[in-house]
Structure 1
């Protein structure tokens, strides 16, 4: 683990508008699994750049509607796997960023990123920084631990209180 407190970072999260009132939920990733989380592990996927968040959300397909939220993360230990020495520290190779994790899952194979997840968690990591697959030069964060006692603090930046607080905002339109 690094020495001293981690500097706060700003993250961008693009997600399905239907879940606008739950910007800090990682339940979708827990339900379906993700590049850096096995099934059952709540995970927040976000990016360090706004354009990267958008590119990752759409995965190169049709431009879907999205809600984009700015997040503030403090106190997290996030090994930066865009750095070769950090990869080596965890016994990983750069090729881990190119694996077809979803295809592996569909074939009943444990993706290398899921094996790496366990190694990183065992080393005390709260998440990981990794290169964007959809936005060359961009960086993403998969966050596994947040907002419980002793864990990093993740907050949505919503200074004017515009984010919905319940699913009621998605009810039928009023005439």
Structure 2
């Protein structure tokens, strides 16, 4: 499927100079990217961003919420189909239950990374996936599912586009020179 719409991302203030940076994910790794592989973790609404950034219930550092307009070709939508139907070898439950951080820390193969690598190899530029945050709603009767978009590096390349909303140049004005492509 193709996706066109808004996505949101929370970034710690000290890193907010470059809202399109994939540096943190590349350096630390995450659920859908091994260390060294850049991605942008975004959500389809503000509430999901807050659930995602506060999974441990800790007091977050000062954080900036960014809104992006995206146009992405080839999005693997896991909100309508189980990955086992799309890329064999994984179920949505297996992706949710994967202790990816422990595997990363031990230098082990991570199921969610294998899955994301297969999606990239199949030509997808992003994953649309239910939020696995502990406080996430998964059922429409609870107010709608909370959904994330994991943007691979190809999502920032034509024919795709990712535009960060900053019409008054607040990033440049308050955080220093404009260091992003927006």
Same structural fold, with TM-score higher than 0.5 when normalized by the shorter chain: yes
Name the counterpart of 1:118.
Answer: 117
3-state DSSP of counterpart to 1:8 = strand
Name the counterpart of 1:172.
Answer: none
* Matching residue within 47, 52, 63 for 2:48: 52
Q: 1:88 to 1:165 in 2, by over 3 A?
A: farther
Pair 1:90-2:99 in alignment: no
| Contact 1:10–1:71 (CA under 8 A) maintained in structure 2 | yes
Superposition deviation, residue 61 in structure 1: 2.2
Q: 1:85 to 1:130 in 2, by over 3 A?
A: closer
Name the counterpart of 2:180.
Answer: none
Deviations 1:103-137 (A, max 9, x none): 11122321101000111011101121111122233
The structure with the largest strand share of the pair is: 2
> Using the alignment, how far apart are the partners of 2:9 and 2:97 within structure 1?
22
RMSD, aligned α-carbons = 2.0
| Contact 1:21–1:165 (CA under 8 A) maintained in structure 2 | no
| Contact 2:9–2:49 (CA under 8 A) maintained in structure 1 | yes
TM-score, normalised to structure 1, is 0.84
3-state DSSP of counterpart to 2:168 = coil
Q: 1:16 to 1:126 in 2, by over 3 A?
A: same
> Using the alignment, how far apart are the partners of 2:25 and 2:68 within structure 1?
17
> Using the alignment, how far apart are the partners of 2:25 and 2:102 within structure 1?
16
Q: 1:151 to 1:103 in 2, by over 3 A?
A: farther
**What is the aligned residue count?**
164
* Matching residue within 62, 68, 75 for 2:58: 62
> Using the alignment, how far apart are the partners of 1:115 and 1:7 within structure 2?
23
Deviations 1:43-93 (A, max 9, x none): 100100101111111223223121100011113321112223554111131
TM-score, normalised to structure 2, is 0.81
> Using the alignment, how far apart are the partners of 2:72 and 2:8 within structure 1?
17
> Using the alignment, how far apart are the partners of 2:162 and 2:108 within structure 1?
32
3-state DSSP of counterpart to 1:79 = strand
| Contact 1:97–1:131 (CA under 8 A) maintained in structure 2 | no
